[in-house]
Every structure is written in structure tokens, then in C-alpha cells.
């Protein structure tokens, strides 16, 4: 029964009530892992390492400004506002 509580408790929120103390997600994870048999603890470790590896392998996000730099155009806030007015101008208002 305790392992089910760990399983569901992990995803509820970061501050979990436990014996009048607030537990962080990290503390809750450690508590749950300690209750697992050694072979399952190893699986959790492998999973955590895989998450870290995938995070490290993500390419950095590129700025849209940099992607559009090769195109010669100038888009102002007023251009965007005008396009929105044109697009939504005939939209029915009586919903």
C-alpha cells in the first residue's frame, strides 16, 4: 500500500503533506526509492540518467530573429495590428 501512495503522491504537487511536514518532490522521490527492492532502485537510477542524457543532447533553441535574418523585411507592431484587424474584421460578434 505504501508504494502506491508513493506512486500517486509523486505527481500531485511539489509540497506534499506528510506527518505535519512539507516534503519536496525530491524528498518524496528519495522516500519512494528507498522503499523499492534493489533491482527496481537500479531501474530508477537508469531512468534518471536517461532523462539527464536526453536533456543534455537537446540542441539549443534558435532565435526566430536569427532564422529570419537572411530575409530582407521589416515587420512592425503596427503591421501585426493591421493584419489582425483585417483578419478579424468580418468575424461575427453575436455568439
* CA distance linking residue 34 with residue 41, whole number of Å: 8
What's the confidence (pLDDT) of residue 91? Answer: 84
Lowest mean pLDDT, pick from 10-19, 70-79, 85-94: 10-19
Q: Are 36 and 3 in contact (CB under 8 A)?
A: yes
Give this prediction's pTM.
0.43
What's the confidence (pLDDT) of residue 12? Answer: 44
Amino acid at each position: 500500500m505504501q508504494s502506491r501512495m508513493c506512486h500517486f503522491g509523486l505527481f500531485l504537487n511539489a509540497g506534499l503533506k506528510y506527518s505535519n511536514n512539507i516534503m519536496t518532490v525530491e524528498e518524496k522521490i528519495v522516500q519512494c526509492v528507498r522503499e523499492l527492492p534493489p533491482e527496481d532502485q537500479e531501474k530508477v537510477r537508469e531512468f534518471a540518467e536517461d532523462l539527464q542524457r536526453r536533456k543534455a543532447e537537446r540542441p539549443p533553441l534558435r532565435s526566430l530573429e536569427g532564422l529570419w535574418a537572411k530575409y530582407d523585411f521589416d515587420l512592425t507592431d503596427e503591421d501585426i495590428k493591421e493584419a489582425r484587424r483585417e483578419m478579424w474584421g468580418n468575424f461575427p460578434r453575436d455568439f
